[in-house]
Amino acid sequence: MSEQTLKRVDLIFGEYSNEKYKVLASTLERTNDDILNDLLESGLRGRGGAGFPTAMKWKYTAETPGDEKYVVCNADEGEPGTFKDREILYRVPRKVFSGMAICGKVIGAKKGYMYLRGEYKFMVPDLIKELDSYHEHVKELGFDFTIEIRMGSGAYICGEESALFESMEGGRGEPRNKPPYPTTSGFMKKPTVINNVETFVNVLMIMRLGPDQYKKLGTTDSRGSKVFSVSGDTPIPGIYELELGMPLDRFVDEFGDGDTKAVQVGGASGFCVPRKKFKDTVIGFEGVPTGGSMMIFNSSRSMYNVLHNYLEFFEEESCGQCTPCRVGCQQLLKGIVAVKKGEKKALYLDQLMKLSESMKITAKCGLGQSVANSFSSIVNNFKEEMIY
């Protein structure tokens, strides 16, 4: 292996333990405090993109009084350029269910839900098969925690946790005000832990390896490995499990096609990093965070087209509930088209930038707030392409 090669990790997709649900069985015998301590020690942060410390989320929910609590697995993977949860659910569903069950034990929940995006409906028969076997095993273990699959129906916003609860409750997928957070008021307004698919697998792996072994992967701020979805102008698109905290230039050396102009880290709601900043950019919570999406663009691509595509996406997927996002997305899209056509002066871009900044402050949820990420990082770094 040459020095230039990024270390491949085999944590998430590694083989199952030789006995079905063995790690789950041994974890169920431990005390909740013990499990939480291991999680805290591991430094695990949520893998959906936002990076909230998982141990804290579980602890808060466990401490909230109430008999009825829920565990929800967010499998509404909708971020453009992300397809790692599909792969995880296809290859290691057992690890996901085990992670959910451990959460159920810690917080005192008897019921778990997996909210799967409608686009992945074709996976349901296989998942149900694995779930049946899961239910048999927990029954044998005398542990009361059942898991049910709920389907989405083609709405990106339902990946936002409170919108996801609304959707599960039969409503429009419109985000709620926060606080209260799901730890006190989630599904059915009951205390709920909602984690990404990959987070639950990480939990199981921490239980299997112990926090010390787990911590050897990654950096201080970004412990463990991460599953990356690599797409765009690359000769080797696909799913890769890599250590967190890697510098972007090494990533590009390995995955780019030699002519990489920019990398969009974290999907349409993430950041666009231009070539000149590859060297100083770290992929992880201390640098540019990502839910896994890495889209590579080479110099043949127009960044105007890229931004146009993202804004069309946001305009369609905005739930329309709050004005900054509903109107903002439309105006940003109209604005860049007008500048490109010469109907507006180039300086108008500054005004659009201000608009995106106000959206960041005033939009109700993460969707509207994060439009500014890709907007400002693309416009700032590729201004000429927006104008000419």
Partner 1 sequence: MTDCKSLIHELADKYGRERSSLLPILQGVVAKNNFLSDTCMTDIAKELDLSAAQVFGTATFYSFLDTQPRGEYVIRVCKTITCDMHGKKTIIQTLEDMLKIKVGETTPNKKFTLLETNCLGWCHEGPAMLINDTPYSGLTTEKVHDIISEYVNKK
Instruction: Please give the biggest Cα pair distance in the chain.
Output: 70
- 74-103 binders of partner 1 (CB under 8 A): 77-83, 86
Token duo for residue 215:
């911590």
Minimum distance of partner 1 from residue 109's CB (angstroms)? 17
The distance of closest approach from Cβ of residue 22 to partner 1 in the complex, given in angstroms and rounded to an integer, is 31
Question: With 0-12 CB in 10 A as exposed, 13-18 as middle and 19+ as buried, what is 153?
Answer: exposed
Q: Does 128 bind partner 1 (CB under 8 A)?
A: no
Shortest approach of partner 1 to residue 178 CB, angstroms?
20
Nearer to partner 1, 172 or 345 (CB): 172
Applying CB under 8 A, among 301, 326, 340, 344 the residue interacting with partner 1 is: 301
Among 227, 295, 352, 386, indicate the residue that binds partner 1 (CB under 8 A). 295
Nearer to partner 1, 30 or 326 (CB): 326
Q: Nearest-CA neighbor of 317 among 376, 278, 370, 261?
A: 370
Burial class (CB in 10 A: 0-12, 13-18, 19+), 2: exposed
Does residue 317 belong to the site contacting partner 1 (CB under 8 A)?
yes
Decide: is 313 part of the binding site for partner 1 (CB under 8 A): yes
Distance, CA of 163 to CA of 152 (rounded, Å): 11
Q: Applying CB under 8 A, does 352 fall inside the site for partner 1? A: no
**Would you count residue 111 as binding partner 1 (CB under 8 A)?**
no
Task: Map the footprint of partner 1 across residues 236-265, applying CB under 8 A.
Answer: 237-239
Residue range at the interface with partner 1 (CB under 8 A); choices 15-23, 116-124, 175-183, 196-204 = 116-124
Residue spans of beta strands (DSSP E) within the chain: 70-75, 111-116, 146-151, 192-196, 225-232, 238-243, 246-247, 260-265, 271-274, 282-283, 293-298
Q: How many residues bind partner 1 (CB under 8 A)?
A: 49
Sign of CA dihedral 239, 241, 245, 251: negative
